[in-house]
């Protein structure tokens, strides 16, 4: 079973998904949306409000293999929504969630078994070149622009075309099929404590950025009120760096989802990607506080 005391392997998480579906069949459905490069299942957990026309929030984690706090925190959110439902507000029960805790299952396992700091997926390179595509450079909006690379040995290798990877292709298919329901898209990464909104490909903002900024600040405030640290809110390219082909830009620019964020969880550099397990619970509470704000916002949309 899953705990929040250590980082669990993928198989423990899969057992947790199966357990939730079995124990809460009216609320939780495990959907296989595709297969990774190495043949692992790409899973989405549908957490249903039971309301027929509920709006939905997309949450994902584990895009970058080494950012273990991301899938841990996303799984904590799932557990809170399902197993601790009564402790939260009415909007928790009023929106549907689509949750993909492991966008990059192969990379996650590789970062446990072989290389703790692995980032990309596990797409085989051609002979004499390197393995792995950066999944957060492989989405099909402004693909191949600033902050991405065409060289397979780079950590920010964008792949040989947009959605060349089965992992990103599966997500785009699923999200587009549900895009009328999905009103918010939150992708969890680490580290740095940032709440970032589009665009990431360039230091420009979308026309409705004032709404994104307002809700972003609300999330940051909620995190602090829950006892968490300060998170910096801003436009992705201006606040962090320009990077094209990200999931967030695609969700906003191509799928048309209004409230789109990348949240970089803890810490702000002391441990970086190798965040000790004692920080899982407090960091997961940051993530939960942010998602409660988004869920409430979506719930209250006209």
- 189, 266, 285, 292: residue in contact with Zn ion (rule CB under 5 A): 189
Q: Considering 264, 281, 296, 297, which one is annotated as catalytic?
A: 264
> Which of 236, 284, 290, 298 touches ligand 0X9 by CB under 6 A?
236
> What are the percentages of helix, strand and coil residues in the chain, rounded to 5?
35, 15, 45
| Interatomic CA distance for residues 289 and 231, integer angstroms | 12
Interface stretch with Zn ion, choices 14-22, 160-168, 186-194, 277-285 (CB under 5 A):
186-194
Which of residues 120 and 189 has its CB atom nearest to Zn ion in the complex? Answer: 189
**Cα–Cα distances in Å, from 254 out to 157, 203, 246?**
21, 18, 11
Q: Which of 195, 212, 243, 294 binds ligand 0X9 (CB under 6 A)?
A: 243
Q: In what order do the strands lie in the sheet with 28-35?
A: 28-35, 41-47, 96-100, 56-60, 182-190, 259-265, 194-197, 232-235
Place of tokens 């929504």: 81
Q: Which does 193 bind (CB under 5 to 8 A by kind): ligand 0X9, Zn ion, none?
A: none
Contact with ligand 0X9 (CB under 6 A) among 55, 66, 189, 258: 189
CA 286 to chain centre: 14
Task: Select the span of 32-40, 61-69, 165-173, 218-226 touching Zn ion (CB under 5 A).
Answer: 61-69
Site for ligand 0X9 in 246-265 (CB under 6 A): 246, 248-249, 262, 264
In angstroms, the CA 238 to CA 204 distance is 8
Return the axis-axis angle of helices 105-113 and 10-23, rounded to nearest 10°. Answer: 130
**264: annotated active-site residue:** yes
Considering the complex, state which of residue 49 and residue 75 has its C-beta at the smaller distance from ligand 0X9.
Answer: 75
List residues with catalytic annotation. Answer: 264
Q: By the criterion CB under 6 A, which residues form the site for ligand 0X9?
A: 64, 67, 136, 189, 196, 200, 236, 240, 243, 246, 248-249, 262, 264
């Amino acid at each position: 079973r899953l705990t929040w005391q250590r980082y669990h392997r993928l198989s423990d998480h899969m057992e947790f998904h199966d357990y939730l579906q079995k124990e809460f069949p009216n609320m939780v459905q495990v959907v296989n949306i595709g297969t990774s490069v190495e043949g692992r299942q790409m899973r989405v957990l549908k957490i249903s409000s039971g309301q027929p026309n509920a709006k939905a929030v997309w949450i994902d984690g584990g895009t970058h293999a080494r950012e273990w706090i991301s899938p841990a925190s996303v799984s904590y959110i799932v557990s809170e929504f399902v197993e601790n439902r009564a402790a939260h507000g009415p909007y928790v029960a009023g929106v549907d969630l689509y949750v993909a805790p492991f966008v990059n299952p192969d990379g996650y396992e590789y970062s446990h078994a072989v290389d703790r700091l692995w980032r990309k997926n596990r797409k085989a390179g051609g002979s004499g070149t390197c393995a792995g595509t950066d999944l957060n450079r492989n989405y099909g909006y402004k693909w191949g622009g600033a902050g991405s690379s065409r060289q397979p040995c780079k950590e920010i290798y964008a792949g040989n075309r947009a959605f060349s990877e089965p992992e990103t292709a599966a997500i785009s298919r699923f999200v587009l099929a549900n895009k009328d329901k999905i009103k918010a898209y939150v992708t969890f990464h680490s580290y740095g404590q940032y709440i970032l909104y589009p665009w990431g490909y360039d230091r420009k903002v979308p026309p409705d950025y004032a709404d994104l900024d307002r809700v972003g600040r609300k999330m940051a405030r909620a995190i602090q009120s829950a006892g968490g640290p300060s998170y910096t809110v801003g436009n992705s390219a201006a606040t962090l760096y320009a990077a094209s082909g990200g999931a967030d830009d695609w969700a906003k620019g191509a799928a048309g989802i209004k409230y789109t964020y990348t949240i970089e969880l803890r810490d702000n550099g002391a441990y970086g990607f190798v965040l000790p397990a004692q920080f899982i619970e407090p960091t997961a509470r940051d993530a939960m506080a942010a998602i409660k704000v988004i869920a409430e916002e979506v719930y209250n949309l006209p």
